[in-house]
Structure 1
């Protein structure tokens, strides 16, 4: 397990998080740097200057204020202090997933959650079965955790076709894996509890939870209280890296509010008309406050964790002595074989088996486009254990020889897991070729059915799946109006319904109101009113808007819940389900799903490219 590699910032649509689904150079670069640091550590430890490896990381360090002094060495500073930042970012991601991400949807989360739990338990049981007679069973925590950075990097290197849905599944898997690993470290790898510092730590956590109510200085308050909590947790006998998790879980996360975004736009316009320092400061403050501190911290710290902290950790912990004696001992060591079997076999069997059982019994279902061969390939790559595995090696053993054997086991398991994953993907994709999901519009534009603006034979076509309660849908933001103004009669805009009923209580009724108004030819006028009054979409409000635009209100009410109208909205919802759409707005430009920003300039460029570039779904 490890912090995900930097990716384009997630956006929130209609109260839900758009997952980071695209494999890119960030994943490969982070994994490559981590691998390079590992190779350098091994080369350093086995070079003619190998004795300097332990000597360097054993250099003494003193940290203190006044008479309070913490004495440690460079190796423990990396593992106890720098890795706190890593666990802090992991905690931010966990908090976000439970609040806005994949883990908020039970039906979608249950499969990876159960798979992750099995992927924690089965490896531990396999390790215990092998290592129990040796007296080293206490090191079972080494085999429970996957390394997300290496896993995503390996997935990018192998390059299976259409990997987005699998990547989302593996990220959800990794979040649960993170939680399990953190609990194991807190409960099983502590040095004993001291109640007095533990009580102070509890008081500090209460104070951190209250920081959100400060009108100013929240960043400084989080930093000061977080550092104090780190010292309190250390003094309490708990591994101090868990302080990073505690702070992260107490930091609030929320989707951008439409009012905050509009306020920022107003301030930006004021600055544009009269640039001055006061307006500039107000714009910066408004921009910061419109995005939750969780999002800001992930964006700010994520690259440093992936490209600095984790490579330093690898350099400090992967320096195993690969001499003939160590290799010979590793070959016959139950500890090494327990680690290899736990990570490679345990993760593969545990995750694949649990997912198969959950889907076969109907307790959960895989997302469209995900099949068991893909799950098996991801499960195999989950055996790449590195960051937390090496971390627990340093906690479980004080004997340098046992630490070397533990590191050999982790490194060997990671190589074998990569090769196994590559083989499973190669064979699986050849026997069961994957198909794209949601990339191409399943129901082409039909002028006899669809609601649209523009010419039916226009060279540019854009289909929007939207929600009248979504504050960022195109008509709410005005982006489509700008697109229509730019292209004039050369663009055809099509509206389809995707009411997110789980987060928008009135979205389905609003969609049906649109269809009821369409039966009287006034749906566009009603849509404008509903977008302008998104906080007032009760039935009485809808009737008031119907009267305001001149509809026959009695007929409107009869049509509102009629089978014809309900089926029309549900037809769009079923199309969206087939394409696995779960966020608004979602656009299809020229029949192909648009990814990236949906501001008017981005949509205009995408429309222009749709004519210049032949459509491809490969």
Structure 2
């Protein structure tokens, strides 16, 4: 179980809140698609098709660019969508799931199979003729639709399954956009192509120069788009490669601290100059990749993709076209390629890779849930419609393929719903997420407790002494204590992340050695201000400075009792679903989202009022980041 703040009040606020969630954009796409279909089959259908064929362009001296409105959307506006994909892929490689070799290998196997098998099925059904050039229609998965469907028909808690599917779609999207660029580009022109390469080189140079401002990257990307349009290479490929070249890295705590110091200057002496310094400091605190991604994410979901759907999903099925489409090989090739091909390609490849030891599934995710997610991956709306336009245009084959895409959305969702029901009833896979409840519960005889042992409210933190974010999050106790007083007890448990923090385990044992002399909290406060020096000699020196019995401290430091005490907390973290630090549990429920003192105060107040709520699918709102996204 995880925690969520109540929905905001007011119609506009609730609408904005829902569109930031997982199902909101998917519902919006369904509505827009329905509007396009109704419009295309209404008495005003002529207006619909004429609109997208309107010539739009500009002339600037001897230069100019003119395209139909539909091409401006497909070749221009949609580049923002593919640029966003590139940004996300770069993030995954920098500090996401693709950083883990076993998960990256499993995602690569599933993603490649999820592209290859649908294409083979399509080719086997269509066999030959002009319809064969539409094989690329079945290679892509619409991430927004897939996640929306998962939120509606998937397990109650599906956070880990969501991470797995997103990792697979990263590979899927990369391959799909590469296919568009290499197989659906024509009339390549050399000089503009050289300009494209120069723009890509400029993006690489900006990253190497650690340019933190977003504006230079955007200027180069705009120049890259014009060059790509002129070169004949489809701009989607250029957009995705551009996104891959924008630097991404985990948030660095020292830059956050520097920004705080700048804000203190502004607080003490507010001025335009100090205000600009604060803005620059805040910008430097996060990667330019993430800032651009955050700026583009919601507009892309609620404007770019829906406008694309409105322009491309409208197909006139009057005059017997629907009946003809249902008898056409292209329609069935698209339907079976997406629904059956994705289900078998991703599902079976994942099963075989796991059985052969070539990868591992996230904790809490079973093969039944994987098969359900593989079925939902057959929703291939956005990329599929784009490739239909490139391969068939507005011909009968294009309309038949569009009907296949729309029908496959329904078929993939129904198949996913059925598989998830079977997985829940036959395999017992009612969730596909990490545990959400603290295990074991707080024990005053064992746990370290700050505040009254019988307090009304309990906050538990899993921490790492070498995690810079833990030092500042733990410092929030003073704010929490000032607000709640004796109504709150604060508990800490150890989660030394030894793969990234080489001194964390010894520091945790040192804290327990100090605890054996009733100095745990004093030690915690003291050492968190000295995180840069946690070698054994440093820890012993701290024991001297704090007035501990040093001989006893050294004896306890590596004792079996202390080692077992730390391992108890590590086992508790594993059983409770804590994987990063800091991770907080509010009243025994894992907090998902921000962990600043104000947010934790709000969550504790909700508990005190009995307003315990759940994320329906174990996920935070999109405007929150999962706990533990710092260097720990």
8 Å contact from structure 1 (residues 368, 579) kept in 2: no
1:434 paired residue number:
430
Change (3 A) 1:115 1:448: same
Q: Is the 8 A contact 1:455 1:491 kept in 2?
A: yes
CA distances 1:428-467 after superposition (whole Å, capped 9, x unpaired) = 3233251574211111112222222222222221111011
**In structure 2, distance between residues paired with 1:374 and 1:474:** 37
Task: Indicate the residue corresponding to 1:15 in structure 2.
Answer: none
Alignment match, 1:223: 218
Query: SS of 1:510's equivalent?
Result: helix
Secondary structure of the residue aligned to 1:587 is strand
Structure 1 pair 118–553 and aligned structure 2 pair: CA distance change class (3 A): farther
Indicate the residue corresponding to 1:530 in structure 2: 527
State the distance in 2 between where 1:108 and 1:514 align.
Answer: 34
- C-alpha offsets along residues 270-290 of structure 1, whole Å, 9 cap, x if unaligned? 333333222222222222221
Compute the RMSD of aligned alpha carbons.
2.6
Aligned pair in 2 of structure 1 residues 399, 513: CA closer, same or farther (>3 Å)?
A: same
Q: Is the 8 A contact 2:22 2:144 kept in 1?
A: yes
Structure 2 match to 1:19: none
**Contact map agreement 1:146 1:383 (CA 8 A) in 2:** yes
C-alpha distance in 2, partners of 1:195/1:59? 29
Q: Does 1:470 align with 2:467?
A: yes
Tell me the CA shift for residue 523 of structure 1. Answer: 3.1
2:476 aligned residue:
479
Correspondence for 1:422 among 406, 417, 425: 417
Pick the aligned partner of 1:118 from 100, 113, 118. 113
Counterpart residue number, 2:626 = none
Structure 1 contact 517–526 (Cα < 8 Å) conserved: yes
Deviation of the 1:320 alpha carbon? 1.3
Match for residue 349 of structure 2? Answer: 354
Q: TM-score, normalised by structure 1?
A: 0.90
May I ask how many residue pairs the two structures share in their alignment? 599
The aligned runs of 1:184-223 (5 Å cut-off) are: 184-212=179-207, 218-223=213-218
CA distance in structure 2 between the partners assigned to 1:289 and 1:217 by the alignment: 6
Worse-superposed segment, 473-482 or 404-413: 473-482
Specify whether residues 574 and 362 from structure 1 end up closer, same or farther in structure 2 by C-alpha distance, changes over 3 A only. farther
Residue 566 of structure 1 deviates from its aligned partner by: 2.9
CA distance in structure 1 between the aligned counterparts of 2:611 and 2:395, rounded to whole angstroms? 60
SS at match of 1:486: helix
Instruction: Specify which of 73, 77, 89 is matched with residue 78 of structure 1.
Output: 73
- Write the distance in 1 (CA, Å) between the matches of 2:448 and 2:579: 21
Aligned to 1:509: 506
Change (3 A) 1:556 1:125: farther
Q: Of 340, 343, 348, which aligns to 1:345?
A: 340
Residue 615 of structure 1: CA displacement? 6.4
| 1:104 correspondence with 2:99 | yes
Runs (5+) with no aligned partner, structure 1: 1-6, 9-21
Matched, 1:576 2:569: no
Instruction: Check conservation: 1:522, 1:549, Cα contact below 8 A.
Output: no
Distance in 1 (CA, whole Å) between partners of 2:471 and 2:531 is: 13
2:545 aligned with 1:548: yes
Match of 2:242 in 1: 247
Whose relative contact order is higher, 1 or 2, with alpha carbons under 8 Å and at least 6 apart?
2
1:496 maps onto 2:493 in alignment: yes
Deviations 1:471-505 (A, max 9, x none): 22155561123223433343221111112223323
Alpha-carbon distance between aligned partners in 1 of 2:280 and 2:394, rounded to the nearest angstrom: 52
Q: 1:401-426: per-residue Cα shift (whole Å, max 9, x none)?
A: 11111111111111111121222223
Distance 1:215 1:151 in 2: 35
Contact 2:437 2:589 in 1 (8 A): yes
The 1:246/1:614 distance shift into structure 2, 3 A limit, reads closer
The answer to whether structure 1 residue 47 and structure 2 residue 42 are counterparts is yes
Does the residue aligned with 1:438 lie in a helix, a strand or coil?
A: coil
User: Residue 316 of structure 2 aligns with which residue?
Assistant: 321
Deviation at 1:544, TM superposition (A): 2.6
Structure 2 counterpart SS, 1:168 = helix
Quote the Cα distance in structure 1 between the aligned partners of 2:590 and 2:215. 42
- CA distance in 2 between counterparts of 1:358 and 1:549 reads 53
With over 3 angstroms needed to count, the CA separation of the structure-2 counterparts of 1:23 and 1:535, relative to structure 1, is: farther
Matched, 1:596 2:599: no
SS at match of 2:66: strand
Superposed, 1:7-22 pairs within 5 Å as none
**1:392 Cα offset (Å):** 0.7
Aligned mates of 1:572, 1:217 — CA distance in 2: 39
Matched, 1:456 2:439: no
Stretches of structure 2 lacking an aligned partner (at least 5 in a row): 6-16, 617-632
Q: Does 1:378 align with 2:373?
A: yes
1:41-73: CA deviations, max 9, x gaps? 222222223233332111112244332212211
Preserved CA contact (<8 Å) 1:476 1:532: no
Bigger shift: residues 219-228 or 152-161: 152-161
- Deviation of 1:99 after TM superposition, in Å, equals 0.7
Deviation digits for residues 200-223 of structure 1 (CA, Å, limit 9, x no counterpart): 322222212222466989333222
Distance in structure 2 (CA, Å) of the matches to 1:167 and 1:562: 42
| Superposed CA offset, 1:313-355 (max 9, x none) | 0111112121243223212211111111110001111122122
Residues 579, 187 of structure 1: CA spacing in aligned structure 2 closer, same or farther, 3 A cutoff? farther
Distance 1:201 1:430, change over 3 A: same
User: 2:140 is matched with which residue?
Assistant: 145
Aligned equivalents of 2:328, 2:350: Cα separation in 1: 32
1:61 corresponding residue in structure 2: 56
Partner residue of 1:290 out of 269, 276, 285: 285
Match of 1:16 in 2: none
1:131, distance to aligned residue in structure 2 (A): 1.6
For residues 537-562 of structure 1, the C-alpha deviation after alignment (integer angstroms, 9 at most, x for no partner) is 23333233233223344554444344
| Corresponding residue SS for 1:516 | helix
2:170 to 158, 171, 175: 175
Q: 1:459 to 1:218 in 2, by over 3 A?
A: closer
Shift of 1:307: 0.8
Are the counterparts in 1 of residues 465 and 471 from structure 2 also a CA contact under 8 Å?
Answer: no
Q: Confirm whether residue 258 of structure 1 aligns to residue 217 of structure 2.
A: no
Specify the SS of the correspondent of 2:359: coil
Q: C-alpha separation between the residues in 2 aligned to 1:557 and 1:578?
A: 31
